Amino acid sequence: MTITIRRDLDLSTVDVANSNIAALTGTLIVRFVAGPLCDRFGPRYTFIGVLLCGSIPTALAGAVYNVQGLIALRFFVGILGGTFVPCQVWSTGFFDKNVVGSSNALIGGWGNSGGGITYFAMPAIYDSLVQDRGLSSHVAWRVAFIVPFILIVTTALGMLFLCPDTPTGKWSERHLATQRLLNAHGVHETVVDQPGSINARNDSDESSGTATPKDIKEKTSTPGDVESGSIIPTAGKEVPLSQQDMLEVAKGEIVVAPTFKEALHIVLSLQTLFHSMTYVCSFGGELAINSYIASYYLKNFPSLGQTGAGRWGSMFGLLNVITRPAGGFVADILYKYTKSLWVKKAWIVFVGVVSGAFLIAIGLIDPHTEGLMFGLIAGMAVFLEAGNGANFALVPHVHPFGNGIMSGTVGAAGNLGGVIFAILFRFHGTDYASSFWIMGVMIIGLNLAGAWIRPLPAGQIGGK
């Protein structure tokens, strides 16, 4: 509802851009904090808490009467964007690594489609309040925000009373199922001293006595001998695991609350850097485009009007119902047939580079024909949004014992990308075409810059 709110609050283009940046910054902070909270308290309660906190400023939208109030409001409404992190951590806990890309991408895609739904729904609610209820424009856009408030609170309460923490029960008892499984295979050593603390880490220090992939390959336990070990597939072959190896793998897979040193190790690892850079490109680019695409349409096609531009703008977000899941589905299919995480990574880089090429084309052509514009935007959306799904098809493999921190850092990086690209749009004003092609060059560069980094840290057992 850009035109309505801009007119009512007497906003300039710079004011609108600043409010967009404020919203993205609020989400960035919450995502970064939500990661450790997921590892400490569990993703479900973190999810509920973020929803309820974000619902309050949503309900207070009607109290905004100037640009300062709008910027403050959008910063705090940005809290809601932090729900992505507990959502992905929660999803990862319910699905095996062979299909986690599909589950994360499907869930994330439906979440991102909310960006498209709001482009369609909010103007429609506003139009109904003005035309059917007789409210003034000044009042109608404020009343419209009661609808998302109701939806948010209803969702949070449904999650609180109807949803489980993990497939096996409470978050505080998440280690017990793994312990029972190990006991059944003859491993009686305790996996955790207490909930939230691991006896040993599997990826932080190769000299600590933790087995490495090379060690596992050299094991000679008899395949199928339950008392001697278990079997895991590695590079297309079944490799027997000794009881000690099974214990080490279990320790690497159970999500715990890492120490500050371990958290820092996750945040600063090259693998986290790669995923952060590529998510800056995919989700960050999507956020910025979501904020400006309707304005771009209005500039090139004034006859569309606010509602028409909003409806066509919703296409970009609504495509997430298909495009983001496709990114995860393809990643899982490639992994199924190759058992190679390098292939999953190559898929991330591929869709990133192609999306960058589309952005450059849009910016250089600056289409003034609706068919060409909408076609190029749709083509770009397929690859840009597939990059989101592809990214979180590989993220669960990396640092699995600190999946919350890993997901939170990468998720926050996505919002950082949104801020960076929003600043790009801000300084180009209504020259949207220039922002598009510059963004394309940046996205191609960032994807290629991290292509050499190995998918998993050296010595990591869990995550395969």
User: Residue 463: inside a domain, yes or no?
Assistant: no
Quote the pLDDT of residue 185: 61
Task: Name every residue whose Cβ is closer than 8 Å to that of residue 287 and which is 6 or more positions away in sequence.
Answer: 24, 414, 415, 417, 418, 421, 422
Q: Residue 227, Cβ neighbours under 10 Å: how many?
A: 10
- The span from the CA of 54 to the CA of 74, in Å, is 10
- The span from the CA of 304 to the CA of 318, in Å, is 19
Asked if residue 148 and residue 68 are part of one domain, the reply reads yes
Quote the pLDDT of residue 194: 45
Residue 231, beta-bridge partner list: 240
Asked if residue 67 and residue 200 are part of one domain, the reply reads no
Asked if residue 136 and residue 31 are part of one domain, the reply reads yes
Domain CATH code at residue 125 = 1.20.1250.20
Structural contact between residues 447 and 356, judged by C-beta atoms closer than 8 angstroms = yes
**Helix axes 370-394 and 341-365, enclosed angle (nearest 10):** 160
Asked if residue 246 and residue 281 are part of one domain, the reply reads no
Residue length of the chain: 464
Which of 204, 222, 253 lies at the terminal end of a domain, its last residue?
253
Q: DSSP letters along 299-332, please?
A: HH-GGGHHHHHHHHHHHHHHTHHHHHHHHHHHHH
- The span from the CA of 343 to the CA of 350, in Å, is 10
Asked if residue 201 and residue 80 are part of one domain, the reply reads no
Strand 229-234 relative to strand 197-198: parallel, antiparallel, unpaired? unpaired
Asked if residue 368 and residue 234 are part of one domain, the reply reads no
Quote the pLDDT of residue 449: 95
- The span from the CA of 80 to the CA of 23, in Å, is 10
Asked if residue 405 and residue 281 are part of one domain, the reply reads yes
Q: DSSP letters along 167-211, please?
A: TTB-GGGHHHHHHHHHHHTT--S-SEEETTEESS-SSS-GGGS--
Domain that holds residue 209: 192-253
User: Residue 58: inside a domain, yes or no?
Assistant: yes
pLDDT in tens, the chain (464 residues): 778 888 889 988 888 888 888 988 899 999 989 988 998 889 999 999 999 999 999 999 889 999 999 999 999 999 998 998 999 999 988 888 889 899 999 988 888 777 677 877 888 899 999 998 889 988 999 999 999 999 999 999 999 999 999 888 787 776 666 666 666 666 555 545 444 443 334 443 333 333 444 443 434 333 333 333 344 444 444 455 555 555 455 555 666 667 788 888 889 999 999 999 999 999 999 989 988 898 899 999 998 887 788 888 888 888 888 999 999 999 999 999 998 999 999 999 999 999 999 999 999 999 999 999 999 999 999 999 999 999 999 999 998 888 889 999 999 999 899 889 988 998 888 899 999 999 999 999 999 999 999 999 887 766 66
Residue among 100, 24, 32 at smallest CA distance from 422: 24
Asked if residue 236 and residue 156 are part of one domain, the reply reads no
Alpha helices for 395-431 (secondary structure H): 403-428
Report CA torsion sign: 456, 458, 460, 461: positive
User: Residue 375: inside a domain, yes or no?
Assistant: yes
User: pTM value?
Assistant: 0.77
Quote the pLDDT of residue 360: 97
Quote the pLDDT of residue 253: 62
Asked if residue 266 and residue 314 are part of one domain, the reply reads yes
Asked if residue 410 and residue 343 are part of one domain, the reply reads yes
User: Residue 364: inside a domain, yes or no?
Assistant: yes
Asked if residue 218 and residue 164 are part of one domain, the reply reads no
Rounding to the nearest 10 degrees, give the CA dihedral for residues 18, 286, 264, 268. -110
User: Residue 178: inside a domain, yes or no?
Assistant: no
How many structural domains comprise the chain? Answer: 2
- The span from the CA of 328 to the CA of 443, in Å, is 20
Which of 253, 286, 305 lies at the terminal end of a domain, its last residue?
253
